[in-house]
Amino acid sequence: MIKKYFSFIVFILLSTSVFCGTAQRPKNIILLIGDGMGIPLVTASVLSMSNDQFKKIPTVGLINTTAADKLVTDSAAGATALSTGYKTNNGMIGICPDGKILTNIVEIAIKNKKSTGIVATSSVTNATPAAFLSKVESRKSEFDIAAQILNSKVDFLAGAGTDFFLPKELGGKREDGKNYVDSMKAKGYEYLSDTSKASTIIAQKKFFGLFGRSALSQGNQRSFTLGHLTKSAIQLLSKNRKGFFLMVEGSQMDWAADKNEKDYLFAEQRDFNSAIEEALNFAKKDKNTLVVVLGDHDTGSLGISSQDKETGELDVVWATRYHTANFVGMFSFGPSSNQFGGIQENSDVGKKLIRLIK
Ligand SMILES: [Zn+2]
């Protein structure tokens, strides 16, 4: 009798966990990628930044960022693992080392009738955003990536990149004479390049914003934040009752760390924090949104060596001017966030995100 009763309890527990798992699939996913954001940078945020968001996020994991061909990944292979669930060689975007073309999470979200958005502080043709919008053998093919973006069907796209979308005569760098800004408008996109309006975008239809030639101004040198763009993206995408996928990249932490420039780096981290804040605010209210914040790899491997008692300013030492294979942190909030703890391969994180968006 006791045995029977025990079996019944086990059955109920198993059933509950199965049903809860199903019920807890998020309607929306917001993936925030800090390019080059290693654990030291997260530490710096927690120790010294008034708008730190990491302490608000309950689930923490670590990611092994290695590429298919190298211990130390670049942004192309790193973003491909996250956007497709497969590791590839450094330099390649959306394509396996053997040449097989991969399907990315934006395509899968669109197939499932969800809205999609990509926001970056680099050109939207740069490696990380490109891995969510295109497939190319070499990340250097930014003119081809722009051409593929025309057919991506993404609903909200904001960053920089007029160099790659406009012909030389109009201030771009395209030598084929094509004006892809006009092509995007012809596809129904509302286009904006006026940076003075970038903090208050309220998109009514598909939106395309380019606020720089190949990069946005540095985080502390512009009138709008990555948080503003994130808020505008969420405002448009959340109109879809079937849900959305949004990827937001703080692209320039990597560039700042490459230069070993601490002030630039910390300004970029503060800017990225403003985007995390918008994502968390929405997710807390919505209760049906998974937010995952992670780095694609560490850059610079900085060490925090001391702190000024009065100003709180941190002193750092650098180990390198390039990427490292150090694990990066992964911080998640919302339904299914419990799947993003422990030590995981970057490609497994991509696979899980894709499974959840289906
Ligand atoms: Zn990167």
| Structure confidence by residue, pLDDT tens digits, 127-155 | 999 999 999 999 999 999 999 999 999 99
* 295 CA from centroid of ligand 1 (Å): 8
- Let me know if residue 195 belongs to a domain: yes
Amino acid in the structure at residue 184: M
Which residues are catalytically annotated?
Answer: 75
Between residues 203 and 21, the one the model is more confident about: 203
User: Is the Cα dihedral 153, 154, 156, 157 positive or negative?
Assistant: negative
* 347 CA from centroid of ligand 1 (Å): 15
> Are the C-beta atoms of 131 and 76 separated by less than 8 Å?
yes
Give the pLDDT confidence of 324-336 residue by residue, as tens digits: 999 999 999 999 9
Instruction: Determine the Cα–Cα distance for residues 104 and 81; give it in Å rounded to an integer.
Output: 10
- The predicted pLDDT at position 175 comes to 97
- The predicted pLDDT at position 75 comes to 98
Strands (DSSP E) found in the chain: 28-34, 59-64, 115-123, 156-160, 190-192, 207-210, 244-250, 289-295, 298-299, 303-307, 314-317, 323-324, 328-333, 342-345
List the 244-250 sheet strands across, edge first: 190-192, 207-210, 156-160, 115-123, 244-250, 28-34, 289-295, 328-333, 59-64, 342-345
Q: In angstroms, how far is CA 49 from the centroid of its own chain? A: 21
Structure tokens at 58: 């309950």
Instruction: Determine the Cα–Cα distance for residues 240 and 206; give it in Å rounded to an integer.
Output: 12
* 323 CA from centroid of ligand 1 (Å): 8
* 167 CA from centroid of ligand 1 (Å): 28
Tell whether the model's pLDDT for residue 12 goes beyond 50: no
* 299 CA from centroid of ligand 1 (Å): 8
* 250 CA from centroid of ligand 1 (Å): 10
Burial class (CB in 10 A: 0-12, 13-18, 19+), 282: buried
Q: Which pLDDT band holds residue 5 (cuts at 50, 70, 90)? A: low
Tell whether the model's pLDDT for residue 358 goes beyond 50: yes
- The predicted pLDDT at position 35 comes to 98
Average pLDDT in the chain: 94
- The predicted pLDDT at position 23 comes to 46
Instruction: Determine the Cα–Cα distance for residues 87 and 66; give it in Å rounded to an integer.
Output: 8
Q: What percent of the chain has pLDDT over 90?
A: 93
Structure tokens at 342: 């422990």
* 280 CA from centroid of ligand 1 (Å): 23
- The predicted pLDDT at position 13 comes to 46
Backbone angles phi, psi at 142, to 5 degrees: -70, -25
If one counts the domains in the chain, the total is 1
- Let me know if residue 154 belongs to a domain: yes
Give the pLDDT confidence of 83-106 residue by residue, as tens digits: 999 999 999 999 999 999 999 999
| Domain extent at residue 185 | 115-239
The pTM of the full predicted model, rounded to 2 decimals, is: 0.93
Residue of 220, 326, 311 whose CA lies nearest to 273: 220
Instruction: Determine the Cα–Cα distance for residues 89 and 141; give it in Å rounded to an integer.
Output: 16
Residue of 208, 42, 24 whose CA lies nearest to 118: 208
- The predicted pLDDT at position 298 comes to 98
Instruction: Determine the Cα–Cα distance for residues 130 and 195; give it in Å rounded to an integer.
Output: 22
> Are the C-beta atoms of 304 and 44 separated by less than 8 Å?
yes
Instruction: Determine the Cα–Cα distance for residues 63 and 143; give it in Å rounded to an integer.
Output: 31
Burial class (CB in 10 A: 0-12, 13-18, 19+), 191: middle
> Are the C-beta atoms of 260 and 41 separated by less than 8 Å?
no
Tell whether the model's pLDDT for residue 18 goes beyond 60: no
* 306 CA from centroid of ligand 1 (Å): 27
- Let me know if residue 35 belongs to a domain: no
- The predicted pLDDT at position 94 comes to 98
* 163 CA from centroid of ligand 1 (Å): 21
For residues 65-78, give the mean pLDDT. 98
Protein residues with C-beta less than 5 angstroms from the ion ligand 1: 35, 75, 254, 296
* 207 CA from centroid of ligand 1 (Å): 25
- Let me know if residue 156 belongs to a domain: yes
Termini Cα distance of the chain: 43
Q: Any idea what the Cα angle at residue 162 is, between residues 159 and 163, rounded to 5°? A: 120
* 128 CA from centroid of ligand 1 (Å): 7
- Let me know if residue 300 belongs to a domain: no
Q: Which pLDDT band holds residue 286 (cuts at 50, 70, 90)? A: very high
> Are the C-beta atoms of 105 and 131 separated by less than 8 Å?
no
- Let me know if residue 131 belongs to a domain: yes
Inter-CA distances, 3 with 8, 12, 16, 310, Å: 9, 14, 20, 65
Residue with tokens 């923490």: 60
Structure tokens at 216: 């946005």
- Let me know if residue 165 belongs to a domain: yes
- Let me know if residue 356 belongs to a domain: no
Return the DSSP state at 103.
P
Give the pLDDT confidence of 111-123 residue by residue, as tens digits: 999 999 999 999 9
Amino acid in the structure at residue 216: L
